[in-house]
Amino acid sequence: MRYAARVIHVLPPHVARLIAAGEVVSRPLDVVRELVDNALDAGATRIEVEVEEGGLRVVRVRDNGVGIPAESVALAAVRHATSKLPPDVSAVESVTTLGFRGEALWAAAQAGHLHLVTRPAAQVGAAEVHAHAEDVQVGRTSAPAGTTVAVSGLFGALPARLRTQLPPASEVREITALLGRYVLHHPAVHWRVTVDGEARVTHAPADHRGAVASVYGPVSANRVLAVEAGGVRGVVSRPELTRARRDRMHFSVNGRPVQAPPELEKAVIEGYAELLPAGVAPLCVLDLTVAPGDHNPNVHPAKQTVALADLPGVAARVRSAVAAALAAHPLARLAPALS
């Protein structure tokens, strides 16, 4: 049978749907990332994330962003429905939002139960949607301006998927680390992260240094220098604040926290020149701005790896921005002798 020629059949829609949704949402962390991306795309200045039982019981994200107009709410959880791309092929090359595929809410509603409540500030009364699989119910309610999306009972109908999930404590660790990166790269937002009812991350609007304080504590925050040159913004640590691993080197590209290519980490280290002892890494939080057409966030469904069209050029910008920041703070040069 194994080597026999076999007929091809088209999968029933509900099976195809679950497989496709699984590409976008395969674990609670994916739901957190997608909902937070939506809140940032909505211009929120306040984002609250609640996670229960490792996110399998519920992931809830509340924002004070622009909301969804009542007449569009029924489309929010429809596949390939988005407000972020005009229906025009050329627009795909110039997306500036974190989302653009119109798949996240749809996928969340396949993997679990989606409840969305939303109200644009100028609209009287809020709209709500309950969505699960093909069942979508729209209603009216009242709510503050902004949007709250809750995804509950993730993978309740998919025992095999449920069995392969990390233990809740491990998933929470990764979710908290991810949200820490969002805080670092979006420090002007008021963040609050609650895990099983307990506050894990709170961050009041600040600059990058303030975000380092929220995530790594005031000692680290007092040892960073501002970087701002050539489309590279953020902070780097003074040379005395080093790590054996590169685990505190953070990059975002056009607002999206990304897994940086090693070339960019290397460029930062080169920016220190002889100031940094060999084999150690600094702390850095760097937001890179590139032309929308110069990077492709599509290489991975989770959009966490980026393909930069001009990686050497971006690396050169990073190297010189870091070098300039260190040169502007002569104390940074004395610091190793003082510590």
Residues that bind Mg ion (CB under 5 A): 38, 99, 104
Q: Which does 100 bind (CB under 5 to 8 A by kind): Mg ion, ligand ADP, none?
A: ligand ADP
Minimum separation from the CB atom of position 213 to ligand ADP (A) = 27
Task: Give yes or no for residue 67 binding ligand ADP (CB under 6 A).
Answer: yes
Of the pair 34, 50, the CB lying nearest ligand ADP is at 34
The 24-53 contact track toward ligand ADP, x by CB under 6 A, reads: ----------x---xx--x-----------
What is the helix, strand, coil percentage profile of the chain, to 5? 40, 25, 35
Query: Which of 28, 65, 239, 282 contacts ligand ADP by CB under 6 A?
Result: 65
The order of strands in the sheet holding 256-258 is: 224-229, 232-237, 284-288, 249-253, 256-258
Minimum separation from the CB atom of position 142 to ligand ADP (A) = 17
- Judged on CB neighbours under 10 Å (0-12, 13-18, 19+), 255 is middle
- The distance of Cα 163 from the centroid of its chain, to the nearest Å, equals 25
Of the pair 81, 166, the CB lying nearest ligand ADP is at 81
Of the pair 84, 333, the CB lying nearest ligand ADP is at 84
Angle at 277 between CA 271 and CA 283, to 5 degrees: 60
Q: Helix 13-24 crosses helix 104-111 at what angle (to 10 degrees)?
A: 120
CB 252 within 8 A of CB 246: no
Applying CB under 6 A, the site for ligand ADP has a residue count of 22
Of the pair 48, 265, the CB lying nearest ligand ADP is at 48
Minimum separation from the CB atom of position 72 to ligand ADP (A) = 7
Within positions 126 to 165, which residues make up the interface with ligand ADP, using CB under 6 A? 147
Q: How far apart are CA 10 and CA 79, in angstroms?
A: 19
Number of Cα atoms under 13 Å in the Cβ half of residue 3: 0
Of the pair 68, 308, the CB lying nearest ligand ADP is at 68
Q: How far apart are CA 70 and CA 255, in angstroms?
A: 28
Minimum separation from the CB atom of position 147 to ligand ADP (A) = 4
Residue 291 has which token pair?
A: 């032309």
The owner of tokens 């104390």 is: 331
Q: Which does 148 bind (CB under 5 to 8 A by kind): ligand ADP, Mg ion, none?
A: none
Q: How far apart are CA 44 and CA 64, in angstroms?
A: 5
Of the pair 76, 213, the CB lying nearest ligand ADP is at 76
Of the pair 38, 152, the CB lying nearest ligand ADP is at 38
Task: Give yes or no for residue 83 binding ligand ADP (CB under 6 A).
Answer: yes
Q: Contact positions toward ligand ADP, by CB under 6 A?
A: 34, 38-39, 42, 63, 65-68, 76, 82-84, 99-106, 147
